[in-house]
């Protein structure tokens, strides 16, 4: 019996494996005739290169489930995985169409185990990568991570979406991923010394972690399950763990003593950190990136601060960033922002001359599967974020403010503002600034398509006519 050998380069690449597996199938090479190079030792393999064989039959047909499974399994470090997948492919293409549903089958079970391990490792990478700022470079970050499996290509797009607004690199021993703000690239492996050791954000992170650490909820077994010790060396907060764990018992006792002394408050007192003393829009924007005044910063990707010329005479205040804004770091770039642009254009108003911001600077959402559904910010979020808006207004000093939606209107005019009764009505703020409110463009998009939405859009455009009346004069004053 002839023997053949196959090499997949790089060994985790789905397309490379598919090309080789398809060629082997088409040449009629059975799984037991084929030796796979699982870890780059091709020259040691005996037999004929499978890619040199002439096809004798058509390409195999396999269900999409198999391809998804193969994509995961290939990222595992198990040297037998290429052969395992080829056996599965051979059996499915030979007629066992429902093979993947047979969980008791040894090959199917093994493939499932490998895919699960890759899934777990990917989850750990998403949770435990910590970026550190590159000294001397603005907005450039590097992280060091040691994955168990070949998962960098698989997980890097997640970081590209999540940290779209910054330049970063993730270095690992076998592969590196780079994001320059617009494109993802990959390179060779690195060493831990290639990444910055520590930065100011580590100290910030440790302070935060020490403050939120609740010794009464301590469950070391769960903790080490969720945060295995092998990742600790790359986590800034992990340095605190031995001390926090050692002190946990005494801290719980102290908490119990304190609770026995003081009557329990029905509403816990909220400690809100003061705003830093930043002057000018760039400094304010940088300071807002670190804001922790409410919990919205945590699941969101980044702070979405206002943008536009500091000399703008018209300020637009929206509600909060949406999904697209959260990912890009810029306000009014999603579907609602595009509708707003269209409405502005009907009045000949140049968006580039407006200052655009939101009442709340972090995206509030609910995760449903892969989707992030918008949730209205609570009054407490609006109040916590209001000082940022006040600073923007004090810095830009607009002559006109337009509030889009009820949250923005309440942030500017106060809690008693009734949007649908008071929309499109000029008002004067205490400092003399003229302002009015209208609906948020996302409200227009939420109307049923057809006549209802057309009517909502037209009324929104009509409201903005109010702005058009004064925009020319105000824009001229800013030029
Ligand atoms: S929503 Fe506003 S107050 Fe809350 S963390 Fe973000 S920037 Fe700070």
Ligand 1: which atom is nearest the Cα of residue 294? 4
Q: Whose CA is nearest to atom 3 of ligand 1?
A: 385
How do residues 112-132 score in pLDDT, each as one tens digit? 999 999 999 998 898 888 888
Q: Is the pLDDT of residue 251 over 80?
A: no
Return the closest-CA partner of residue 197 out of 246, 154, 144. Answer: 144
296 lines ligand 1 (CB under 6 A): yes
pLDDT category of residue 262 using cuts at 50, 70 and 90: very low
Which atom of ligand 1 lies nearest, measured to the CA of 297?
5
CA 252 – CA 195 distance, rounded (Å)? 38
Q: Whose C-alpha lies nearest to ligand 1, atom 2?
A: 385
pLDDT average, residue stretch 101-114: 95
Q: How far is the CA of 304 from the centre of ligand 1 (A)?
A: 9
Top pLDDT among 130 and 2 is at 130
CA of 240 relative to ligand 1 center, distance in Å: 26
pTM given for the model: 0.48
Average pLDDT, the chain: 84
Which CATH number is 281-478 given? 3.40.470.10
Do 142 and 169 contact (CB within 8 A), yes or no? yes
Residue nearest to atom 7 of ligand 1 (CA): 361
Answer yes or no: are the C-beta atoms of 128 and 194 closer than 8 Å. Answer: no
Atom of ligand 1 nearest to the CA of 291: 8
As a whole number of angstroms, the distance between CA 193 and CA 287 comes to 29
CB distance 313 to ligand 1 below 6 Å: no
The answer on pLDDT for 460 being more than 90 is yes
Q: Please give the structure tokens belonging to residue 101.
A: 């549903």
More confident: 209 or 187:
187
Atom in ligand 1 nearest the alpha carbon of residue 384: 3
pLDDT classification of 48: cutoffs 50, 70, 90: confident
Q: Is the C-beta atom of 288 inside 6 A of ligand 1? A: yes
Please, which residues have CB within 8 angstroms of residue 344's CB and are 6 or more apart in sequence?
A: 350, 351, 354, 464
Residues constituting the chain: 479
pLDDT tens digits, one per residue of 313-362: 999 999 999 999 999 999 999 999 999 999 999 988 989 999 999 999 99
Measured in Å, residue 385 CA sits from the centre of ligand 1 at 5
The verdict on the CB of residue 291 being under 6 Å from ligand 1 is yes
Residue 304 beta carbon below 6 angstroms from any ligand 1 atom: no
pLDDT digits (tens, 9 = 90+) for 53-65: 888 899 999 998 9
Query: CB of 373 within 8 A of CB of 288?
Result: no
Beta bridge partners of 36: 6
**Does an H or E element contain 394, and which?**
helix 379-396
Q: Does residue 359's CB lie within 6 angstroms of at least one atom of ligand 1?
A: no
- 292 Cα nearest atom in ligand 1: 5
CA of 317 to the centre of ligand 1 (A): 15
Measured distance CA(76)–CA(157) in Å, rounded: 18
Tell me whether strands 34-37 and 4-7 are parallel, antiparallel or unpaired. Answer: parallel
Per-domain boundaries in the chain: 4-121, 129-194, 200-261, 281-478
Query: Is the predicted pLDDT of residue 263 greater than 50, yes or no?
Result: no
pLDDT at 85 over 70: yes
Percent of the chain with pLDDT over 90: 53
d(Cα 343, Cα 320) in Å, to the nearest integer? 19
Q: Which two tokens stand for residue 352?
A: 């580039």
Residue 288 has pLDDT above 70, yes or no: yes
Percent of the chain's residues with pLDDT above 70: 78
Tell me how far the alpha carbon of residue 392 lies from the centroid of ligand 1, in angstroms.
14
């Amino acid at each position: 019996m002839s023997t053949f050998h196959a090499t997949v380069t790089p060994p985790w690449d789905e397309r490379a494996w598919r090309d080789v597996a398809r060629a082997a199938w088409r040449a009629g090479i059975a799984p037991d005739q084929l030796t796979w190079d699982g870890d780059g030792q091709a020259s040691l393999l005996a037999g004929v290169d499978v890619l040199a064989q002439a096809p004798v039959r058509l390409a195999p047909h396999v269900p999409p489930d198999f391809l998804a499974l193969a994509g995961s399994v290939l990222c595992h470090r198990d040297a037998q995985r290429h052969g395992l997948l080829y056996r599965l492919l051979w059996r499915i293409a030979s007629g066992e169409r429902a093979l993947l549903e047979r969980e008791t089958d040894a090959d199917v079970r093994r493939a499932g185990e490998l895919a699960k391990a890759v899934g777990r490792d990917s989850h750990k990478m998403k949770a435990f990568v910590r970026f550190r700022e590159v000294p001397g470079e603005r907005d450039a970050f590097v992280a060091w991570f040691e994955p168990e499996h070949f998962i960098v290509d698989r997980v890097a797009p997640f970081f590209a979406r999540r940290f779209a607004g910054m330049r970063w690199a993730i270095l690992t021993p076998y592969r590196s991923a780079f994001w320059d703000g617009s494109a993802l690239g990959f390179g060779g492996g690195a060493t831990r010394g290639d990444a910055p050791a520590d930065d100011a954000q580590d100290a910030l992170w440790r302070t935060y972690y020490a403050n939120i650490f609740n010794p009464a909820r301590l469950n070391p077994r769960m903790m080490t399950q969720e945060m295995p010790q092998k990742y600790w060396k790359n986590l800034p907060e992990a340095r605190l763990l031995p001390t926090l764990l050692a002190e946990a018992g005494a801290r719980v006792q102290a908490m119990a003593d304190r609770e026995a002394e003081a009557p329990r408050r029905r509403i816990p007192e909220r400690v809100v950190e003061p705003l830093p003393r930043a002057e000018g829009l760039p400094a304010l924007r940088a300071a807002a990136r670190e804001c922790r005044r409410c919990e919205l910063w945590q699941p969101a990707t980044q702070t979405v601060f206002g943008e536009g010329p500091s000399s703008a005479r018209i300020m637009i205040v929206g509600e909060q960033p949406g999904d697209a804004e959260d990912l890009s770091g810029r306000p009014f770039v999603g579907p609602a922002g595009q509708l707003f642009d269209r409405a502005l254009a009907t009045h000949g108003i140049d968006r580039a001359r407006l200052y655009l911001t939101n009442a709340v600077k972090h995206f509030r959402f609910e995760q449903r599967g892969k989707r992030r559904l918008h949730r209205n910010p609570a009054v407490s979020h609006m109040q916590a974020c209001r000082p940022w808006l006040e600073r923007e207004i004090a810095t830009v000093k607009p002559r006109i403010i337009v509030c889009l939606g009820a949250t923005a209107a309440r942030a500017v005019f106060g809690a008693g503002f009734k949007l649908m009764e008071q929309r499109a009505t000029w008002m004067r703020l205490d400092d003399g600034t003229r302002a009015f409110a209208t609906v948020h463009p996302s409200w227009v998009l939420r109307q049923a398509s057809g006549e209802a939405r057309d009517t909502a859009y037209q009324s929104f455009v009509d409201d903005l006519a109010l702005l058009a009346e004064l925009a020319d004069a105000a824009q001229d004053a800013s030029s």
